[in-house]
Structure 1
Amino acid sequence: MIDGTPGPLLRVEGVSKQYGGVRALQDVQFACRAGSIHALLGENGAGKSTFIKILSGVVQPDRGRIFLGGAPASFATPGAAADAGISCIFQELSLLPDLTVADNIGITHPPRRFGLIDKAAQRRRAEQMLARVGGEDIHPAAPVASLPLSRQQLVEIAKALARQPKVLILDEATSALTAADVSKVFTLLKRLRAEGMAIIYISHRMHEIAELADECTVFRNGRYIETFAAGTRSDDAIVEMMIGREYASAFPPLGGTTRDGKPALAVRHLSWAAELKDISLDVHRGEVVGLGGLDGQGQRQFLLALFGVLLGVEGEIEVAGKPVKISSPRDAKSRALGLALIPEDRKNEGLMLPMTVRENLSFAALDAVSRFGRIDRKAEVEMIDAVVRQLAIKSDGLDGPVAALSGGNQQKVVIGKWLMTRPRIVLLNDPTRGIDVGTKQEIYQLLRRLAEQGTAVLFYSTDYDELIGCCDRVAIFYDGTISQMLQGAELTERNLVGAALNLTSAAQ
């Protein structure tokens, strides 16, 4: 630790954890001071998730010691950890969707009156916590299921703060938030630091680490690597610590696509409710077209409309020069059309978590490996083995639950599932959200390989660097329509930001 600083509020020594033949953690150490933000860095699979599950009482270590406030501590349950002052906000939300916002925030210790839950006091408490995290617009009586993912994430943060923790752990807690909400959360975290809280912050977004962290610790392959003061290592040096090898350029070279002939996908005057307004766009074979703009401007709805998820979509869609009607995802993924959609929420929209890796991979392509209503197991195994090799999916066997994989490998399974359908048009909805830099590189390279093979790719990302590094063109969405198209020398961060704000001079 840094000389001259106060002793740690939380200290971990020699903690190890093994699952079957997989060693998730081996003799790791960690220390976090009160009144500081400590970044925990590492690839998916580095042991971060197991580590914070141990700290929050979700799993028990095989060996090692934990000290809180200088005294030995152990947490048999998440409730015990919360009672001791440790609250964790996991990337996968722990909210109960059918309950209200107020019920979720107060679920562990609801205020009581005459032995019953005091609903009025619970609502007031929820309003206070929502205001604290910048979610004043969220109604305490709203069912959580009715909220978009970004607002659910704010409810999750409010729920954690309602427990009045001494140590707050955030695992990719901003990955689902809009830029405006991220700014509010950053302001809150800085205020909590000033109030003396110890904050452990996990993120793959290096600019967030640079803005927030006082200290950083790197894990790799379940082992402790190094702790250092924030700002004393370059981003490239940190990434090299995380992946254990020299960090090459993140993005492969663009292919220099020519847009001759009929587009693979043509959209004309597409509209839906008040969310999408008169959108026209072409995507050619071998081209990666990005969707940019501020979050919430219609990009996600546009992808859902193309994949047949939304009802009442107006306008015209052509695939390979032929007019088509896409009324359902079944239509979209049919052999005649060949669309695939990689969703942003892999847990709820992309995977069946209790089912095996093998079953998740083959699910979307069952038609391709079936004859006369029966699955050809040999063909299925061959296709699965090929996509596992292609994407370097790491798992302890394909017959274990997909829920046991790291986040990056789960995302590879989602992508692999759709690659097995051999799509001609791939729609990606922020596919690198919450995954590590090494897996991101693999996805970038995969996108370029798909384009080189003639696939048309439509790629929505909230990361400007990804849009610049991966895309041949970027369509900027503003208020449900395409306001500008940037390409070539125009495709810079300055122009992307300006266009996202609908500044007419952005690309000039």
Structure 2
Amino acid sequence: MDDEVPLFRMEGVSKRYGGVHALDKADLVVRAGKVHAILGENGAGKSTLIKIMSGVVAPDEGRMMLDGREVSFADPAAANAAGIVCIFQELSLIPDLSVADNIVISNPPTRFGMIDRKAQQAIAREALERAGGGDIHPMELVRNLPLSRRQIVEIAKALARKPRVLILDEATSALTAADVETVFGVLKRLRSEGIALLYISHRMHEITELADDCTVFRNGRKIATYPAGSKTDDEVVQLMIGREYSSVFPPKTSNVDPAATPVLEARNLSWLQRLNGVSITARAGEVVGLGGLDGQGQRELLLALFGVLRGVSGEVLIDGKSRAINGPRKAKAPDIGMALIPEDRKTEGLMLPMSVRDNLSFAAMSQISRAGIVDQRAESAAIDRMIKLLAIKTASPAAAVGSLSGGNQQKVVIAKWLMVGPRIILLNDPTRGIDVGTKQEIYALLRQLAAEGAAIILYSTDYDELIGCCDRVVVLYDGAVKRELVGPEVTEHALIASALNIDLREAVA
């Protein structure tokens, strides 16, 4: 078996950006019919590795071999032609085109010099079936699909290219639990068909379920390769972060007065069929979690509180007084002081081509301006303070935010809203797709903000985060509050039973 020529091999591959080693003499062996997991913090070199493999960027040194023959790719089309296809964390779909158009966009079938629509739809249907998205209509516009279904279309698009090596970069981070199970079934079938799968995820349980082999990268270098299951999670995380693994969640030290007037209170919020009479409170110094299966109204609740949705009925009170929050501008005004950390940092939270400085300043213009003119000294001081507070790794504030790792981009999103000095912080799955070390920093920041008096509402699809971060968890089911769990009641068993609308006594029995 050791003498077998691997399907793909990388030897001594390096890539520099200025004086920074994004990848330093990296080695990797990928075998047919195996799932090879790539682990590491954001900024460890994983993204650079897969960009080189898929022809997005060229290495400075080293070599790649496919079937034992040295290869190089001038662009992604050349890599695709060789059978190396990548599904990036950032979707590559064009929203105003149909699902079928997106799936075959690089090589559409033609007839008499025109696109053969019938053949196009047949290819799209086959690819969607293979990706577990047989319920998605090929002629549906991508913009009409929820984020989780768009991810399925992205996977179908990759499968339509007949990959030999399929690279998945956080491909399940936007999926619902049901979609994840579907995709796992697809990946296991592809493995049995002899396709090599390179799998990048920060969800350790996914690695445990899928991977055959694992390789850990840190600071651009390969640290270790080992058979999946041969190391404990603690050992793996220690390899990733290069230091002893401490408790992920900081202690819950806030002392909230239950008799105090809530900073934020929602009464009987309803919107279309997505919210059905939701009532929730958050007091100063409290972290309130939103639980439940994905898609039960949690995101809509946060958007309603922030004034994004139109036609919401019910009442929102700030410091016990009813307020009409008719838009984000009103929500973030100093007399309310609300901030929303959105779900999708790429499209909702950042302007990727613009600098870190511009992104950080954008939400706080009213705070750092006088008579419509930006106070550059105040702006620079605030930006430097945020970069230091969140330990944002950037070459300078002038660097394009799109050049940062995913974890540091997420820190910029959070820092942008902290520039406003919010009293109420709404977070929509803020740690999706970021590494363990950055997650720890964000958890510590949440507890620090709560200790300083902020009222925080946190929606997370990760039960461990709800248990480890929250003082209370409000579980939503079908757009309504199903149950509220407080303190020691916040357990995985209680969260799952409530999310499934199962009576807790019945679940115990």
TM range (shorter): over 0.9
Distance 2:185 2:4 in 1: 24
Partner of 2:351: 352
Q: After the TM superposition, which residues 49-64 of structure 1 pair with which residues of structure 2 at under 5 Å, given as runs?
A: 49-64=47-62
- What code does the residue aligned with 2:385 have? A
Asked if 2 retains the 8 angstrom alpha-carbon contact of 1:16 and 1:26, the reply is yes
Distance 1:344 1:222 in 2: 28
- What code does the residue aligned with 1:346 have? R
Report the more deviating stretch, 130-139 or 423-432: 130-139
Q: After the TM superposition, which residues 454-473 of structure 1 pair with which residues of structure 2 at under 5 Å, given as runs?
A: 454-473=453-472
Partner of 1:148: 146
- % identical aligned pairs: 63
Structure 1: which 5+ runs fail to align? none
CA offsets, 1:445-469, max 9 Å, x none? 0000010000000000000000000
Q: After the TM superposition, which residues 345-494 of structure 1 pair with which residues of structure 2 at under 5 Å, given as runs?
A: 345-494=344-493
Q: After the TM superposition, which residues 76-115 of structure 1 pair with which residues of structure 2 at under 5 Å, given as runs?
A: 76-115=74-113
Q: After the TM superposition, which residues 37-56 of structure 1 pair with which residues of structure 2 at under 5 Å, given as runs?
A: 37-56=35-54
2:159 paired residue among 150, 158, 161: 161
Structure 2: which 5+ runs fail to align? none
Secondary structure of 1:156's aligned partner: helix
Work out whether 1:171 is the aligned partner of 2:169: yes
Work out whether 1:218 is the aligned partner of 2:220: no
State the Cα RMSD in Å: 1.0
- What code does the residue aligned with 2:363 have? A
- What code does the residue aligned with 1:457 have? I
Report the more deviating stretch, 102-111 or 497-506: 497-506
Secondary structure of 1:439's aligned partner: helix
TM-score, normalised to structure 2, is: 0.98
Cα offset, 1:256, TM superposition: 4.7
Partner of 2:498: 499
Distance 2:213 2:482 in 1: 41
The count of residues paired between Structure 1 and Structure 2 equals 506
Asked if 2 retains the 8 angstrom alpha-carbon contact of 1:6 and 1:33, the reply is no
- What code does the residue aligned with 2:227 have? A
TM-score, normalised to structure 1, is: 0.98
Distance 1:9 1:500 in 2: 43
CA offsets, 1:75-124, max 9 Å, x none? 00100000000000000011111111000001111111122211011111
CA offsets, 1:203-244, max 9 Å, x none? 000000000000000000000111000000110110111110
Secondary structure of 1:254's aligned partner: coil
CA offsets, 1:116-151, max 9 Å, x none? 211011111111111221212211111111111111
Work out whether 1:69 is the aligned partner of 2:67: yes
Distance 1:447 1:431 in 2: 11
CA offsets, 1:293-343, max 9 Å, x none? 000000000000000110001000001111100110001001110000000
Asked if 1 retains the 8 angstrom alpha-carbon contact of 2:254 and 2:451, the reply is no
Secondary structure of 1:176's aligned partner: coil
2:199 paired residue among 181, 189, 201: 201
- What code does the residue aligned with 1:170 have? L
Cα offset, 1:488, TM superposition: 2.1
- What code does the residue aligned with 1:61 have? P
- What code does the residue aligned with 2:151 have? Q
Asked if 1 retains the 8 angstrom alpha-carbon contact of 2:6 and 2:29, the reply is yes
Secondary structure of 2:379's aligned partner: helix
Secondary structure of 2:364's aligned partner: helix
- What code does the residue aligned with 1:98 have? D
Secondary structure of 1:232's aligned partner: coil
1:116 paired residue among 106, 111, 114: 114
Secondary structure of 1:96's aligned partner: coil
Distance 1:268 1:233 in 2: 49
Cα offset, 1:23, TM superposition: 1.1
Cα offset, 1:158, TM superposition: 0.2
Partner of 1:184: 182
Asked if 2 retains the 8 angstrom alpha-carbon contact of 1:268 and 1:317, the reply is yes
Asked if 2 retains the 8 angstrom alpha-carbon contact of 1:369 and 1:376, the reply is yes
1:133 paired residue among 100, 112, 131: 131
Distance 1:326 1:133 in 2: 41
- What code does the residue aligned with 2:310 have? L
Asked if 1 retains the 8 angstrom alpha-carbon contact of 2:84 and 2:164, the reply is yes
Distance 2:17 2:487 in 1: 49
Distance 2:110 2:421 in 1: 57
